[in-house]
Amino acid sequence: MRREKAFSKDGFYMFVLEANIMLHRNVSQYGREVLSEWLSQRKIDQPVKLLDLACGGSPVSVSAMMEGCSEYEFRYTGIDINPDQIAAANEFPFPKNVVRVDLIEGNAWELANLKDRFDVIFTGMNLHHGTPEEINCLFSQCKERLIEGGLFINHDFYRPSGTSYLRRPQVNPLDSNESFAMISEETLKAFPSLKRHIEESQICSNENWKSDFLEIYQSVLRHNGGDEDGIQEVVAHVSGRDYPLSVEEVSSVAELSGFDLKHVDLHAVTEPLGSFFCLVAGTSKPI
C-alpha cells in the first residue's frame, strides 16, 4: 500500500511486527528450515539470488531465513511501491552473508522490467490484497523469473477454510478515484490462458469470519499494549483493503502456473491468530 501512515517507517505496523501478532518469528524459524532444505538439494557455486516482493522497510523474516543459512551467500533484491519503505530498507541491517542488496521502488505485482532470474522468491503479507485473477498473473510472472525448480515462499493472511470468499472491489468504496487494482489490465491480458475465477457460488458479501478476526485482532493488539490510534489504523486497513483467499485456493491458483505449494506448519496453535497467518512454500515445475 502506498503511503499509508500505519505502514510508514515509524508507523504502527512496526509494533505489530515486533509483537509477533502475525507470526513473523515463527515464519523466520520454519521458513529457514524450508530454505535450508531446498538449498541442501542443489549445487550452489555462486550467491543465491533471492527476490523479495513488497519487501517493506524491515524485511525481518526473510533476513532471518538467509542468516540461518550462513554457509551460503545471498544476493537480495527487494521491491516495494512505497518510497518511504525503500528508504527504510536501505538502512536495514542485513546479515553478513548477504553480499549484495538491490532495492527497487516499483509495483511488486508487475515484474516485466526485471531481467534477472532468481533462485528464490519470497513475498510476505502481500497476496491477500489481490483478486484470484491478479494472483494468477503474479504467479505466472514469478514462474518466468524463477530458475527451473526455484523456490517460492509466501507468508500471508489467509481466510479460514470453509468460510465464504469476499471479492475485493476494483475501487475504494469510500473514494471512487482510488483504484484497488494491483495489476494493470494490460498485464492481466498478457496471461489469458492462466486467467481463472473463483466459482461465482463462492463470491458473496458474508463477512462474518472477518468480523470475528477483527475482534480477536483488536483484543490481541490491546493485550500487547498497542496504541489505540494505531489499532484503529490497521483495523481500518484490514476492513477496507484485505480480501484473502484460503490456503487451498491460493495453492490451486498457483498450480495453474506450475507451482506445487504446501502449507508449512508454524506450530502456532497457542497463538490467538495462528489460524489466519500461514506459510506456504513450494517449487516451480514444468507445466
Residue 194 has what pLDDT?
Answer: 53
pLDDT per position as a tens digit, 176-216 = 899 999 999 999 988 765 544 444 434 444 457 899 999 99
* Residue corresponding to grid cell 468460510: 163
Specify whether the CB–CB gap between 216 and 277 falls below 8 A.
Answer: no
- What's the chain's average pLDDT? 91
pLDDT per position as a tens digit, 58-74 = 999 999 999 999 999 99
Q: Which of 94, 151, 95 has its CA nearest to residue 122?
A: 151
Beta bridge partners of 49: 75
Residue 203 has what pLDDT?
Answer: 47
Buried b (16+ CB within 10 A) or exposed e, 54-73: bbbbbbbbbbbbbbbbeebb
> What are the phi and psi torsion angles at 76 (to 5°)?
-105, 130
In whole angstroms, give the CA distance from residue 66 to residue 286.
26
Q: What is the 3-state secondary structure (H, E, C) of the chain?
A: CCCCHHHCCCCCHHHHHHCCCCCHHHHHHHHHHHHHHHHHCCCCCCCEEEEEECCCCCCHHHHHHHHHCCCCCEEEEEEECCHHHHHHHCCCCCCCCEEEEEEEECCCCCCCCCCCCEEEEEEECCHHHCCHHHHHHHHHHHHHHEEEEEEEEEEEECCCCCCCECCCCCEECCEEEEECCCCCHHHHHCCHHHCCCCCHHHECCCCHHHHHHHHHHHHHHHHCCCCHHHHHHHHHHHHHHCCCCCHHHHHHHHHHCCEEEEEECCCCCCCCCCCCEEEEEEEECCC
Residue 68 has what pLDDT?
Answer: 98
Residue 287 has what pLDDT?
Answer: 60
Report the amino acid identity of residue 69. C
Rounded to an integer, the average pLDDT of 238-251 is: 94
Q: What percent of the chain has pLDDT over 70?
A: 93
pLDDT per position as a tens digit, 8-25 = 777 898 899 999 999 999
CB atoms within 10 A of CB 74: 24
Task: Supply the pTM of this predicted model.
Answer: 0.94
Q: What nine digits make up the cell of 225?
A: 499494549
Q: What nine digits make up the cell of 89?
A: 530498507
For the chain, domain boundaries: 5-284
* Residue corresponding to grid cell 523469473: 145
In whole angstroms, give the CA distance from residue 214 to residue 114.
37
According to CATH, the superfamily of the domain at 5-284 is Vaccinia Virus protein VP39 (3.40.50.150)
Who wins on pLDDT, 35 or 211?
35
* Residue corresponding to grid cell 532468481: 118
In whole angstroms, give the CA distance from residue 175 to residue 258.
37
